[in-house]
Structure 1
Amino acid sequence: MKLYSITTPFLQLFCPGRDSRFVVTNKPNQTPIVPEGTVYFRGILKNIADYRFQILKMVLLISGFVFMFSPSASAQTFSETIKETVRFQNINSSENELYIHNINGNVTVEGYNGDEIQITYHKKIDADTQRDLDRAIEEVEFILEEESNRILIYLDAPFICVKKRDGKISYNINDWDDDYDFMFDISIRVPQNTNLDVSTINNGRVLVENIHSKWLDVSNINGSVELGNVAGITDAKTINGDITASYRENPSGDSSFETINGTIEVMFPENLSADITFKSMHGDLYTDFKNVQRLQARVESSEERGHGKTTYRIDKFAPLRIGNGGPTFKFEVLNGDVYVKRNRAT
């Protein structure tokens, strides 16, 4: 593999303080091993002249982006912080449910030994003009609904289609007005036994701490999912981000942890007994639990209608059993590793 390493003054303009070297390999499908912070392009450059031509194109392209996305001198910003307090009708019920669905921004939920749901949200809007800003302030709403043992928190606007089914909420965003951007950072303190369904989509993480409930449903799209000192059957997923979790008690039922581009790291108490299934295209599973055994690969059968044929599928990844086995914990990742660790703090 032939490597060219050339320092360019152009990158110093846009990435000051970084190691601004391009490392180029002459093997199209091979990624070179480079120092941390090195910017590299994968491709074939026949000679230095080609290389310089590529640099020139890159500089022109970046210059165009800088011009296109330079903030306007007339840009307007609005921000406010609102606090609200609500309660469940029966604070001692194990069926109490809180649904929080954000679009842009962080969601933080903390359990505590109280009987109120303390909500704080910071709303920020950036617009091209004052007229767009005023319109955005009116259009984008923070909605709080109370339904006996269920509380719903979500956003609404003319371009947001809110769908409710079986008490759950989903979004369909159409024709988002690019004349303004909005961000909500939501922080909530809840009784520790509250069942949670929490999500965001962009520009934020989902953090849940000190919750001891029946179930947790936590998701993100472009960001991380973090669970700390929790207990409950769990469904945690994201697309572009890591999943980290530490349990004060092992989940009593089947749970799943899924990401596409990221690492999954979960810590369970040392008395864990569970069956682990793992699927990955570019990753491995690691564990420091001692009593681990590999089970036989699972075989699933399906019958083709009208043909009288039965198809058998053998799972590529044989499950693992930790301890005496028990509920199934599913780990799925496309590009990343999975770490199943002992939580020695419990």
Structure 2
Amino acid sequence: MNKLTKSVLALAATTLSFGVFADVEREFSETYNFSSNGTVRVENINGNIKLEGWDRDQIQLEYTASADDKDDLERIEVEIDASSSHFSVDVEFKKKSSWFGGWNGSSGEVEFRLKVPHEVVLKMIDSVNGNVAISDVYGDIKAETVNGKVKIENAGSDVSVDTVNGDVKIVMQQFKGDQRIKSESVNGDIEVYLPENEGFRLDAETLNGDLSNDFGIEVEEGKYVGADMEGRYKSGNARLLFDTVNGDIEVRKD
């Protein structure tokens, strides 16, 4: 399949609707044939991203773009690059001129909903101002937000999650070999739920937060600030690494 590049603007393959508060929306939905072990990247500015794995060699992409008025909606550009093994989505908010010269930003957000083959690699799922939720993806996962929460469920390979102002929740049903689960947050909590019957090694630390776990791993408080939580639970090669500046870290039995 040849590489396909689409810039989705204004009315292209979309529907406009007017809400009770004078908001306007644009809907988009399309399905793409895709390799089960391909790579996916989604980068958003304002809005949530929800991504689920499914048992098809296809990607289903749906989104809703919304803004205060039609002019701002037309300035929201969603660019889709799709081939049989690489899929990427980028959002751009085009600026508008002001009455006093120069350029001003436009209102608006884009809410993404995707279904992808279970085994894909998520190279980057990123929203600056929005939440990210990923479930049932078994390839490597990398996710980031600045102002938003991240939730990862049933990951099957390595996971890397970073937030600045947002909480992280990770729910694991089982570990795969030497799987590595890593998360860092500046101003947010990290909450992790793990299977009781599988082993792992935990390394967690915080500067200005609290640490706790249900697996009998000792928490060592710093002399003045900070705390560490390091240890092994049962046997197993899974590695868990968590770090916060101003947030708590909780590791619980699921």
Question: Which has the larger displacement, 78-87 or 149-158?
Answer: 149-158
Confirm or deny that 1:123 pairs with 2:123. Answer: no
The alpha-carbon deviation at position 316 of structure 1 amounts to 7.5
The equivalent residue for 2:173 is 248
- Higher RCO (CA 8 Å, separation ≥ 6 residues): 2
User: Rg larger in 1 or in 2?
Assistant: 1
Q: Is the 8 A contact 1:281 1:333 kept in 2?
A: yes
Q: Is the 8 A contact 2:133 2:150 kept in 1?
A: yes
> Secondary structure, in 3 states, of the residue corresponding to 1:200?
strand
The alpha-carbon deviation at position 177 of structure 1 amounts to 2.3
Confirm or deny that 1:139 pairs with 2:75. Answer: yes
Kindly tell me: are residues 270 and 256 of structure 1, through their superposed partners in 2, closer, same or farther at Cα, counting changes over 3 Å?
same
Structure 1, residues 186-205: CA drift from partner, whole Å, max 9, x if none? 01111222222211011x21
Q: Which structure shows the bigger proportion of residues in strand conformation?
A: 2
The alpha-carbon deviation at position 323 of structure 1 amounts to 1.8
Q: Is the 8 A contact 2:44 2:90 kept in 1?
A: yes
Kindly tell me: are residues 214 and 116 of structure 1, through their superposed partners in 2, closer, same or farther at Cα, counting changes over 3 Å?
closer
Q: Which amino acid letter does the alignment assign opposite residue 177 of structure 1?
A: N
Equivalents in 2 of 1:108, 1:182: separation in Å? 18
Q: TM-score, normalised by structure 2?
A: 0.77
Q: Which amino acid letter does the alignment assign opposite residue 86 of structure 1?
A: Y
The structure 1 residue matched to 2:118, chosen from 175, 192, 216, is: 192
> Secondary structure, in 3 states, of the residue corresponding to 2:147?
coil
Kindly tell me: are residues 176 and 338 of structure 1, through their superposed partners in 2, closer, same or farther at Cα, counting changes over 3 Å?
farther
User: What is the percentage of aligned positions where both structures have the same residue?
Assistant: 25
The equivalent residue for 1:114 is 56
Q: Is the 8 A contact 2:205 2:229 kept in 1?
A: no
Q: Is the 8 A contact 1:107 1:206 kept in 2?
A: yes
The alpha-carbon deviation at position 214 of structure 1 amounts to 2.6
Q: TM-score, normalised by structure 1?
A: 0.58
Consecutive unaligned residues of structure 2, counting only runs of 5 or more, are 1-20, 96-101, 221-225
Confirm or deny that 1:260 pairs with 2:206. Answer: no
Residues 267-286 of structure 1: pairs in structure 2 closer than 5 A: 267-286=193-212
The alpha-carbon deviation at position 255 of structure 1 amounts to 2.6
Q: Is the 8 A contact 1:293 1:322 kept in 2?
A: no
The alpha-carbon deviation at position 83 of structure 1 amounts to 0.5
Equivalents in 2 of 1:271, 1:97: separation in Å? 32
The root-mean-square deviation of aligned C-alpha atoms, in Å, is: 2.6
Q: Which structure shows the bigger proportion of residues in helix conformation?
A: 1
Confirm or deny that 1:238 pairs with 2:174. Answer: no
Equivalents in 2 of 1:243, 1:293: separation in Å? 22
Kindly tell me: are residues 227 and 286 of structure 1, through their superposed partners in 2, closer, same or farther at Cα, counting changes over 3 Å?
same
* Paired positions, count: 221
Residues 19-38 of structure 1: pairs in structure 2 closer than 5 A: none
Q: Is the 8 A contact 2:33 2:84 kept in 1?
A: no
The alpha-carbon deviation at position 318 of structure 1 amounts to 6.5
Equivalents in 2 of 1:189, 1:119: separation in Å? 7
Confirm or deny that 1:201 pairs with 2:128. Answer: yes
Structure 1, residues 71-120: CA drift from partner, whole Å, max 9, x if none? xxxx96431111111121x33xx3x1111111100100111222221111
Divergent runs of 4+, >3 A? 136-139, 292-295, 315-318
Equivalents in 1 of 2:131, 2:253: separation in Å? 24
The equivalent residue for 1:182 is 108
Consecutive unaligned residues of structure 1, counting only runs of 5 or more, are 1-74, 128-132, 160-174, 296-314
Equivalents in 1 of 2:31, 2:77: separation in Å? 17
